[in-house]
Amino acid sequence: MLLDVNALEAGYGKIGVLHHVEMGVAAGEVVALLGHNGAGKTTLLRAISGLLPWGSGDVVFAGHSLKGSGPRESARAGLVHVIEGHRVFTQQTVADNLLLAAYDLPRGERSARIEEALAFFPEIAAKRHDRGGSLSGGQQQMLAVAQGLVRRPRLLMLDEPSAGLSPVLVDRVLAVVSQLRAEGTAILLVEQLVEKVLAVADRVYALAQGRVVLSARCDEPDLRSRLESAYFGSTIARD
Amino acid sequence: MLASILASGVAVGAIYALIGIAYNTMFSTSRVMSFTAGQLGMLGGVFGSLFVLRLGLPPIAGFVAMLACCALIGVITEFVAVRPVLKSLDQHLYVLSTLALALMIQQVTAIKWSTEPQPFPRLFELGSGMLDEKFWVPVIACLLTIIGLELLYRKTLVGRAFLAIAEDNFAARALGLPERNLRIASYALAGAIGGLAGFAGGQLLLAFFANGPLLNFYGFVPVALGGLGNNRGAVIGGLALGVFQQAANFLVGGIFSSVAVFCIFIIVLLLAPQGLFGSHVARRV
Amino acid sequence: MSNASQTLTTNLSSWPVRRAAWTTFLPFLILFGLAALLPLTGNEYWGLIATRAAIYWMLVSGLSLIVGFAGQLAIGYVALLTLGAYTTSVLAAGNVLPPLPTLVALGIASAAGAVFGVIVGLPALRLRTFYFAMTTLGFATIVTQVALAWQGVTGGGIGITGPEMPAPFNTAWGFFYLCLGIAALCTWGASNIAHSRVGRSLIAIRDAEVAAEASGISKARLLVVVFMFAGALAAMAGGLFASLQTYITPDAFTFELSLLFFIAVLIGGRGSILGPLIGTVVLTILPEIAAPLAAWSTFLYAFLLLVIVLAMPGGIAALLDFESRKPLAFDRAVRPNPHVLGELFHGQRDGRSIVLRDVVLSFGGVRAIDGVNLEIRPGQIHGLIGPNGSGKTTTLNVISGYYAPEKGDVTLGSPLDPAAAVTRAGRGIARTFQTPRIVGEASVLDNVMIGGSIDGRATFLEALLSLPRHREDERRIEADALLALRAVGLEALAHVRADRLQHSELRFIEIARALVLRPSFLLLDEPAAGLSGVEIDHLGRLIVEIGRQGTGVLLVEHHADLIFSICDDVTVLNLGRVLAAGTPAEIRLHKEVVSAYLGG
């Protein structure tokens, strides 16, 4: 496994959000993370990338524990987290937004990496001198994903890249996910749109109340009904 | 008389504006309004007088030494009074921690330097009357600072990173920007800007330990009126405040001018809590 | 009814007893008793120091309500001391009017202090903390400048003679006893306020402002009264200070003094009266016993402040709080007793519903809710579900008055004031929050009593003097709060500091706080989040029983099974619109709902 999460416990202050989470992502696969608002998906991503310090358990990426490291160290190791809500820097141009993502890279490589990332999104490449704030929500989301790609991640974590986007744009973003997988990048995807995600993912985890309640391959035949019951209760694991 | 009101008003206003910019520079990377801003201005004057008059360094060497010392004070502020309380930003502990540090700086200066205003050296021996260097040096300093900051923010990656952190600290961290180092750097920068304010205004304000609280308040007024983090607002507000204050000084006397400034400050803030140029309402629920 | 009240009394006696009154008063008695014996030493110098401490304490007792309770960082309070000192001296000396008797002058100075206390406090009603700190600082600078410049009245830099006290207060010890007496009265009054509805409301404003608003506590009205009170005390202290000094100049009122007052409160501890009292005494004596350090006293005070902020935010009060160090039972579970609700809820319920008609609200161009219609009927449990960002919580916030709808109306019989959260408690609408808004430093019981704030009838003055109506209020609200705590199953923890509890327990405290209001409508914002399966079952039974009392419940939840098992009606939102509405059975079969959840 490229990423291994073992018995992870995390939360905000006194509020425990994640309870004994076990999951993993292999190199080159697309894994979807599903669950309700408040189930702990975003918290899990933040804990993995080091944005949220966690308590006990362990996160191992490419053979090294990420305990105590922040997002900067994770990104250097090749684990990039694109946070929810397409939070690009609205006062700065598209090119500058990407340049910021390349902050840690050697000076000479920056522009090549930016062009590489922009190649995935011709629609924002055309607007490279526009300010981030002037982009539409969908374009901002593409920019946010492009920021992640500048680092040439081995594992890219996307938190709800489809939120607030029109169906066409959602397909556009998910198409890039497929494209990345074809090039060997592993992806951990948090999504609400179950059907669309299942179409691009290899495996799926469902979270409820901070616990993994379902882990399955996407080609298992009864997956949909198992998901439905995971969402509507009755089979939610209780202890 | 109008000319002398303008000359001294713009000069004092430029000093206030620089202190306001120091406030903003610290605020942008940490969301902290630090009481040390005014003390940095005070120290700029004291260090200037110390290095140039007492130790006899050439003005340019004294200036560089002053900048280095004030930048160091800025970094100390970050370590001692800001970083430890950042986690509890909503409890406003920073108000107390920075106030405590500011008072310690002031008291040490009073005891180790002097409790009386000390003379500040003439820097260029240029100009007289309305065109005396003491009136235009602060203005030039303010102008150079604004140009320098614009260049920093627009032309360098570090400057863009400052702006990124100011706009969305969380997103900047997620992107892997070295947020902690950049915050320290911004405190050093604010220290230098505050020191510059005191050094440039040294011939007007002298090297006096009690300048701190005064600069704290009059440097904060333009920031509050212009909106937190808005340098343009701080410069416009600072110059307006300086001219208004000097005009009131000449026309109705110094005491009532400070009363007037205070009243206007309160009234404007009550009418426009986000400042005249700012607009930001946080969601509460 | 008589049966119910009988069970109530028997149960009351079995609850953990509050710390006996005498242990609370003992430290005060010892402190003031020792001070009263001071003349026996015959040392007038120590008498002078003690008088000064008593005068400082008059100011600090009021200031502790502002800084320690309301959490407003008033750092320039020396200004009000200056104001009181000069007003009293000038009026007694007859520089402006014919000379007035000292005590009359003192009274007028106090009134002036009350007025200026409010003026300086005004920014605190609207502005962020740092601004308020700056304003008080600015005010302190200006008062000194005016005292210096207004030579005809204040004597400028030369100064003015302090007021002379009438017999028997014109001797050193007579004046000492006068000040000690007033200080004791201030202690009594401030303690009364601290342990009243006002004290609890102030702390609620400090630590859980949004919840205070939902409980009907008006920040502006409360703060204005407290600023008046503290301003009057400070100015009175100033008059006595002038008399003690016999001669005052602007130099006597340094910022260092302001710092002393402020730090005395913080060393003492927020939300305490005894702590700041000890802090004042210690800080007044400190420079006397460490004379070589006198020049460094500001530095010392500032250093102390930094240490307190960084290392012991609780101050002396936290050090003295032995109760909170006893370990709590580790494996405790919340066991609600829904049958108790019958005792709490009694009397007539009115039969009107909350009705939302075509409500629209957008944030920055995005429609968060887009034409929502909803009716919450008395005694019915109404579930509100929907995917992320569908507008559930926004709807709840519109009903509870945190947002004003752009279009459409919200009525409960008559229209509910838009964007006026503070009015909702009065209309019988209570709520809980997604993240519990609890005062960590207050006891569980005090937290729940905050919910009963609008039930109190006594005025500030009645609370200050602990008059019968105030005591009757306290008894009633406390009994209600204990009942509510018993209903949610937390009565055993009533006297524990709330920040020692677990997250799930905080959720039940919030429900208890809402229940004290005996609400006609209860809005629950994801009450089951973070609860265990067993706790969710308890919660469900509690909500059902609340509904049986005639209270209409709006339940915003993600736990679909909880919604489907206890709700009478369910509304499903998607993208700010009502996707479906009906009984749980109908919703379960609704195709669009299933696909909205699973994203078809």
Select from C73, C123, C255 the Cβ nearest to the Cβ of B92. C73
CB pairs under 8 A between A and C: 58
pLDDT at position B254: 66
**For testing the chain B interface, which of C67, C255, C299, C400 should be mutated: the one with the most B CBs within 10 Å?**
C299
Indicate the domain borders of chain C. 19-323, 354-428+521-600, 437-518
- Asked if residue B51 has pLDDT above 90, the reply is yes
Q: Is A227 in Cβ contact with C366 (below 8 Å)?
A: no
**C19-323 belongs to CATH 1.10.3470:** yes
- Asked if residue C14 has pLDDT above 80, the reply is no
**3-state class (DSSP) for residue C358:** strand
pLDDT at position B199: 96
CA angle centred on C562, ends C560 and C566, rounded to 5°: 120
Instruction: Quote the tokens at residue C275.
Output: 């702590």
In a domain? residue A237: no
Q: Which residues of B are less than 8 Å from A81 in CB distance?
A: 174
Select from C123, C210, C298 the Cβ nearest to the Cβ of B285. C210
pLDDT bin (cut points 50, 70, 90) of residue B15 is very high
Scanning C295-314 for CB atoms below 8 A from B yields: 295-296, 298-299, 301-303, 305-306, 308-310, 313
Residue of C nearest to B210 (CA): C255
Residue span of the structural domain in which A196 resides: 3-231
Judge whether A164 is closer than 8 Å to chain C, CB to CB. Answer: yes
Judge whether C148 is closer than 8 Å to chain B, CB to CB. Answer: yes
Q: Which of A229, A227, A226 is nearest to A191 (CA)?
A: A227
Nearest-angstrom CA–CA distance, C303 and C295:
14
For residues C181-214, b (16+ Cβ closer than 10 Å) or e, as one string?
ebbbebbbbbbbbbbbbbbbbbbbbbbbebbbbb
* Two domains, one topology: C19-323 and C354-428+521-600: no
List the single range of A97-111, A154-168, C106-120 with lowest mean pLDDT.
A154-168
| Residue appearing with tokens 């008006």 | C218
Chain A contact residues (CB < 8 Å to B): 49, 51, 70-72, 74-76, 80-83, 87-92, 96, 99-101, 103-104, 147, 151
pLDDT, averaged across chain C = 87
DSSP string, chain A: --EEEEEEEEEETTEEEEEEEEEEE-TT-EEEEEE-TTSSHHHHHHHHHTSS---SSEEEETTEE-TT--HHHHHHHTEEEE-SS----TTSBHHHHHHHHTTTS-GGGHHHHHHHHHTT-HHHHTTTTSBGGGS-HHHHHHHHHHHHHHT--SEEEEE-TTTT--HHHHHHHHHHHHHHHHTT-EEEEE-S-HHHHHHH-SEEEEEETTEEEEEEETT-TTHHHHHHHHHSSSS----
Strand pairing class (A155-159; A211-217): unpaired
Mean pLDDT of B246-256: 80
Judge whether A198 is closer than 8 Å to chain C, CB to CB. Answer: no
pLDDT bin (cut points 50, 70, 90) of residue C50 is very high
Strand pairing class (C429-431; A15-25): unpaired
pLDDT at position C600: 40
Chain B contact residues (CB < 8 Å to C): 33, 80-81, 84-85, 92-93, 95-97, 99-104, 106-108, 111, 213-214, 216-217, 220, 224, 253-255, 258-259, 262, 265-266, 269-270, 273, 284-285
Q: Is A147 in Cβ contact with B175 (below 8 Å)?
A: yes
Higher per-residue confidence, C598 vs B282: C598
- Asked if residue A146 has pLDDT above 90, the reply is yes
Top CATH class of C437-518 equals: alpha beta
pLDDT bin (cut points 50, 70, 90) of residue C69 is very high
Nearest-angstrom CA–CA distance, A239 and A236:
10
Sequence-ordered list of residues with C-beta below 8 angstroms from that of A222, at least 6 positions apart, any chain:
none
Strand pairing class (C247-248; C160-161): antiparallel
Q: Is A196 in Cβ contact with C599 (below 8 Å)?
A: yes
pLDDT digits (tens, 9 = 90+) for C271-304: 889 989 999 998 888 888 877 777 788 888 889 8
- Asked if residue A236 has pLDDT above 60, the reply is no
Mean pLDDT of C550-562: 89
Mean pLDDT of C7-32: 59
Q: What are phi and psi of C504, to 5 degrees?
A: -65, -35
Nearest-angstrom CA–CA distance, C28 and C34:
10
Q: What is the DSSP letter of B88?
A: G
Nearest-angstrom CA–CA distance, B112 and B104:
12
DSSP string, B211-241: HHHHHHHHHHHHHHHH-TT-HHHHHHHHHHH
CB pairs under 8 A between A and B: 60
Nearest-angstrom CA–CA distance, C368 and A164:
11
Select from C127, C137, C145 the Cβ nearest to the Cβ of B258. C145
pLDDT digits (tens, 9 = 90+) for A40-96: 899 999 999 999 988 889 999 999 999 888 999 999 999 999 999 889 999 899 999
Task: Give the sign of the dihedral formed by CA B63, CA B67, CA B68, CA B69.
Answer: positive
Q: Which residues of A are less than 8 Å from B154 in CB distance?
A: none
CB pairs under 8 A between B and C: 110
- Asked if residue C247 has pLDDT above 60, the reply is yes
Helix A94-101 / helix A137-150 crossing angle, nearest 10 deg: 30
Strand pairing class (C429-431; C521-525): parallel
Task: Give the sign of the dihedral formed by CA B223, CA B229, CA B231, CA B233.
Answer: negative
Instruction: Say how many Å lie between the first and final Cα of chain B, rounded.
Output: 55
Scanning C515-544 for CB atoms below 8 A from A yields: 526, 529-530, 532-533
Element (H, E) at C186: helix C172-194
Judge whether A225 is closer than 8 Å to chain C, CB to CB. Answer: no
- Asked if residue B121 has pLDDT above 50, the reply is yes
Any idea how long chain A is?
Answer: 239
Instruction: Output the domain CATH number for residue A7.
Output: 3.40.50.300
pLDDT at position A223: 84
pLDDT at position C3: 44
pLDDT at position A231: 67
Q: Is A163 in Cβ contact with C388 (below 8 Å)?
A: yes
Q: Is B96 in Cβ contact with C123 (below 8 Å)?
A: no
Select from C526, C588, C599 the Cβ nearest to the Cβ of A192. C599
Q: What are phi and psi of A68, to 5 degrees?
A: 80, -5
Cis peptide before C168, with omega less than 30 degrees from 0?
A: yes
pLDDT digits (tens, 9 = 90+) for C463-473: 999 899 999 99
Contact C175, C243 (CB under 8 A): yes
Mean pLDDT of C455-478: 90
Q: Which residues of C are less than 8 Å from B107 in CB distance?
A: 296, 298-299, 302
Q: Which amino acid makes up residue C588? A: R
Q: Which residues of B are less than 8 Å from C305 in CB distance?
A: 96-97, 99-100, 103
Q: Which residues of A are less than 8 Å from C588 in CB distance?
A: 232
Sequence-ordered list of residues with C-beta below 8 angstroms from that of C427, at least 6 positions apart, any chain:
C412, C416, C520
Q: Which domains does chain B have, with CATH numbers?
A: 2-271 (1.10.3470)
- Asked if residue C16 has pLDDT above 80, the reply is no
Q: How many domains does chain A have?
A: 1
pLDDT bin (cut points 50, 70, 90) of residue A237 is very low
Judge whether C293 is closer than 8 Å to chain B, CB to CB. Answer: no
% of chain A beyond a pLDDT of 90: 62
Q: Is C309 in Cβ contact with B93 (below 8 Å)?
A: yes
Residue of B nearest to C300 (CA): B104
Q: Is A36 in Cβ contact with C594 (below 8 Å)?
A: no
Q: Tell how far CA B50 is from the center of its chain.
A: 20
**For testing the chain B interface, which of A43, A52, A87, A103 should be mutated: the one with the most B CBs within 10 Å?**
A103
Q: Which residues of B are less than 8 Å from A76 in CB distance?
A: 176
- Asked if residue C540 has pLDDT above 80, the reply is yes
In a domain? residue A178: yes
Q: Which residues of B are less than 8 Å from A82 in CB distance?
A: 174
Q: Is A228 in Cβ contact with C594 (below 8 Å)?
A: yes
**C354-428+521-600 belongs to CATH 3.40.50.300:** yes
Give the strand order in the sheet containing C366-376.
C366-376, C354-363, C407-412, C414-415
